[in-house]
Amino acid sequence: MEFYQGDIIKISGFKNYFLIVSKNAFIKATNVFHICPVIENNEDGPLHISIVGKQKTSGTVFCEQMKLIDPSVRACNKVDRISYDAMMNISDAIQGIFEYD
């Protein structure tokens, strides 16, 4: 199964969903990707961004909780996908964490 930036996935053993935030070129080159948890019923904030997938999967992405996973070791399934505009918002928030002062 191929994974792409903006995919909402389910990882076996975890209750919540996760959003793939790595660039597609990074995923293709390394066969791993960064994810952020998608938590239901949580308030928005600068690093907590609400999403609604194309199949109506919804929640709040916790941008500061980014992790790297290897999908060949984890049982991952795609459940939905977010829009390009929503992915741009999330990417901007993550990039803001690492900008210099």
Q: Taking a C-beta distance cutoff of 8 angstroms, is the pair 54, 47 a contact? A: no
pLDDT at 93 over 80: yes
DSSP label at residue 41: S
pLDDT tens, position by position, 13-63: 999 999 999 999 999 999 999 999 999 988 899 999 999 999 999 999 999
Partnered with residue 69 across adjacent β-strands are 33
- The residue among 76, 93, 85, 87 whose CA lies nearest residue 18 is 76
DSSP label at residue 19: E
**Domains present along the chain, CATH in parentheses:** 7-98 (2.30.30.110)
Q: How many CB atoms lie within 10 A of CB 98?
A: 6
